[in-house]
Amino acid sequence: MQLLGVLVFLANLRLCMPYVRSTMYTSEEAWMRMFVQTRDNHGCDAIIPSCGPKGQCCDRHDECYKRHGCRANSWGWSWIPGVALFDSCARCNKAVLFCVTNIFVWPGPSECCGNGNCGHSRQ
């Protein structure tokens, strides 16, 4: 069953990549922010544009992190097969990957677009 999930994920990723590639940030600063993220900002903190059709995926991920007390280091073990069965933070991470890469899920822009605070720190 785990293999089937990985295959579906990869198939969706392959179908979605032309869209993601055309809308992702290209500046070096955005890539550095993704790899050296030290705080949580309103909207999307990495590749996905907050005001794009997948921005709400980031809002759901942020809310899931807050609910379960997750930290960015949970991405390190989220890739281990089966860990999402026991770890709620890994489930948050897998859910955002599914949301971003699934061609049938388009939740809309992040709430920060309407509030005008995208990229501002939550602290």
| pLDDT score at 121 | 84
Q: Where are the domains of the chain?
A: 2-115
Selection from 65, 72, 90, 113 nearest residue 5 by Cα: 90
Task: For the chain, 123 residues long, give each residue's pLDDT as a single digit of tens.
Answer: 455 555 555 555 454 444 444 444 444 455 444 455 556 788 998 888 999 999 999 999 999 999 999 988 888 888 888 888 899 999 999 999 999 999 998 999 999 999 999 988 876
| pLDDT score at 52 | 94
Tell me what percent of the chain is helix, strand and coil, each rounded to the nearest 5: 60, 0, 40
